[in-house]
């Protein structure tokens, strides 16, 4: 579990502002295919990131809220991505994992 208190070595993620808004939407939402895919994408982005502790804590909370482990989340989203194009019509078509 990460601490909520930023340290002097914490970094600001360049996608923080838009990711914070998305996490807030996920917290208020249900585990739809799109929301599961977004949660998985954000888990990948922020795992090991030295900062954005509030987002990391909220991503942990979402896993618990939706009754998932990280392993089951990734398994479900692999299946979702194999069976459908979750991001069709959303954005420029480029993948945004960093």
Given this model, what pLDDT does residue 92 score?
47
Tokens of 38: 């977004």
Q: For residue 95, what are the contacts with CB-CB under 8 A and spacing of at least 6? A: none
Residue ranges of the chain with per-residue pLDDT less than 70: 1-8, 89-98
Given this model, what pLDDT does residue 2 score?
46
8 A C-beta contact, residue 33 and residue 76: no
Given this model, what pLDDT does residue 90 score?
58
């Amino acid at each position: 579990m990460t601490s909520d208190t930023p340290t002097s070595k914490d970094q600001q993620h360049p996608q923080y502002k838009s990711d914070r808004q998305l996490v807030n939407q996920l917290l208020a939402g249900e585990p739809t295919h799109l929301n599961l895919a977004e949660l998985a994408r954000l888990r990948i982005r922020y795992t090991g990131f030295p900062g954005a502790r509030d987002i990391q804590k909220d991503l942990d909370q979402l896993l618990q809220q939706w009754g998932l482990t990280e392993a089951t989340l990734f398994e479900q989203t692999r299946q979702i991505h194999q069976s459908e194009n979750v991001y069709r019509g959303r954005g420029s078509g480029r993948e945004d994992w960093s």
